[in-house]
Structure 1
Amino acid sequence: MKVLFVLTSHDELGDTGNKTGFWIEEFANPYYKLLDKGVDITVATPKGGKAPIDPSSDTEDAQTEDTKRFKNDEAAQKVINTTKVLSEIHPKDYDAVFYPGGHGPLWDLSKDQDSITLIETFNAAKKPIGFVCHAPAALKNVKGKDGEPLVKGKKVTGFTNTEEKAVELTEVVPFLVEDMLKENGGIYSKAGDWEEYALVDGNLVTGQNPASSGLVAEKLYEMLK
């Protein structure tokens, strides 16, 4: 099995002067869940090269077993520092695609044409497509074969408005994931803030927040088997 991970290349948190990027736990947990099952993983970003880590995901209170493992894993560090360029990726080479979150995707992956085309190609081939937390932002401009938003009429979840308010970034982000999914016609639902929650609808898997990253990976793996 070959799975493509797509990470953000964006590291500026709006006009705050602070940094953002991808959330370590949302990469590390699914990465190891799949890697330990023998899945071959490739990581790509819009710009290629080093993927930016969100500093907020690197604090002491954000650490998990998987983030600690990542910190001590030279091979995984190398993967993050030498990502492939998204435009050079061929969907036919992979069985599924997975998008970890962090705030970065709100700015770049939401409108990156290579990413949009990639997701549409995976979807048309009925291959699993997975997103967690802020990563459903990458679905903002993705269309289904009928020309309608891909999420229209589909059961979806993603980072909630109340979770965004809790991290005090409602006024900083370019859009709210929950609002966007609803505006695009998605049948949005959620659990309590910071609770594990993931949904499958057809070949689409979405998870609500960092705590849901492992569940999304498990569901993705089940679909691949």
Structure 2
Amino acid sequence: MAPKKVLIVLSDAHSFPLKKPASSSNDKDQIVQQPSGFFLMELAKPLAQLLESGAPNPLQTPTVETLLAFAGNFYERRHENELIDRMRRENGFDSPRPFKSISDEELDSFAGVFIPGGHAPLQDLGDDPELGRILKHFHNKTKPTAAICHGPYAFLSTKATSPGEFAYKGYKLTSWSDAEERMMETMLGGEIEKVESSLKDSGAEMVAGAREKAGYITVDKEVVSGGNPLAADALGKQFLKMLSEKA
């Protein structure tokens, strides 16, 4: 049986920065806030598999970013919205805890950590020292760590803690790729921070390509990561397996 407590880290942001190019040579580029949140499918699919492990404990206020992943599949979207509504009622999604309220001693009670995607992590998860402290706990104790899409951007927060080193240097990781982000930039008409490049520049070995875009996951030591919603099922299954093996 898998351990009972899994920490779920959700961005508290309702938007992310989008750099809009100047309309003329006399104007300056503008940073606008693009509405966003966590990506519903990337939370709901692994969450449905993890519920048998016990009640997850979200830290941040969830806001939902659906994009186009549910196009033509109304019933799947309704089912996953119902699951999140249930978690709001029963497991504290509407009363999240700030990172600093989780002590080092309490972290010992958690078996693993899960970070879903959506663009919101670009706003507030990449440089938070308290989140960096939390992630270093799971890293140092080799506790299963799952992140998908923009979720791996949160790993950069480990650089915000002393001595400022990236905890996942040399790890093989998969995230939302630069190529996929450029497609979003075309849709939104602005420049977006690149998760893949940011992690690579910090020392991660990024795994991308056709397999990543088709939903394959990457496992390295205690970390399982995936690039987009297509990886949600496989990531959830692998995370649950790692939790069971660690127990």
TM-score norm. by structure 2 comes to 0.79
What's the CA shift for 1:220? 1.2
Secondary structure in 2 matching 1:149: coil
Match runs of 1:11-90 below 5 Å: 11-14=14-17, 15-35=31-51, 37-45=52-60, 50-54=61-65, 56=67, 61=71, 67-73=77-83, 74-78=85-89, 79-89=92-102, 90=106
Identity of aligned residues (%): 26
Match of 2:173 among 150, 156, 162: 156
Q: Which residue of 2 aligns with 1:183?
A: 201
Tell me which structure has the larger Cα radius of gyration: 2
Bigger mean CA deviation after superposition, 5-14 or 95-104: 5-14
What's the CA shift for 1:93? 1.8
What's the CA shift for 1:189? 1.2
Match runs of 1:205-216 below 5 Å: 205-216=224-235
Secondary structure in 2 matching 1:13: strand
After superposition, what is the alpha-carbon deviation per residue over 1:61-117, rounded to whole angstroms, capped at 9, x for unaligned?
185765422322442233432322222223112100000011011110101111111
Q: Which residue of 1 aligns with 2:137?
A: 121
What's the CA shift for 1:146? 9.0
**8 Å Cα contact 2:70/2:76 also seen in 1:** no
CA distance in 2 between counterparts of 1:64 and 1:214 reads 18
Uncovered stretches (5+) of structure 1, i.e. residues with no partner = none
**8 Å Cα contact 1:13/1:172 also seen in 2:** no
CA distance in 1 between counterparts of 2:6 and 2:46 reads 11
CA distance in 1 between counterparts of 2:72 and 2:224 reads 24
Secondary structure in 1 matching 2:59: strand
What's the CA shift for 1:3? 0.6
TM-score norm. by structure 1 comes to 0.86
Is 1:109 matched up with 2:141? no
**8 Å Cα contact 2:125/2:157 also seen in 1:** no
Secondary structure in 1 matching 2:80: helix
Q: Which residue of 2 aligns with 1:200?
A: 219
What's the CA shift for 1:151? 2.3
Paired positions, count: 218
Partner AA of 1:11 in structure 2: H
Uncovered stretches (5+) of structure 2, i.e. residues with no partner = 18-30
> What is the RMSD of the two structures over their aligned residues, measured on CA atoms?
2.5
Partner AA of 2:196 in structure 1: E
**8 Å Cα contact 1:70/1:76 also seen in 2:** no
Partner AA of 1:86 in structure 2: F
Secondary structure in 1 matching 2:239: helix
Q: Which residue of 2 aligns with 1:166?
A: 183
**8 Å Cα contact 2:16/2:122 also seen in 1:** no
Secondary structure in 1 matching 2:56: strand
What's the CA shift for 1:223? 1.0
What's the CA shift for 1:7? 0.2
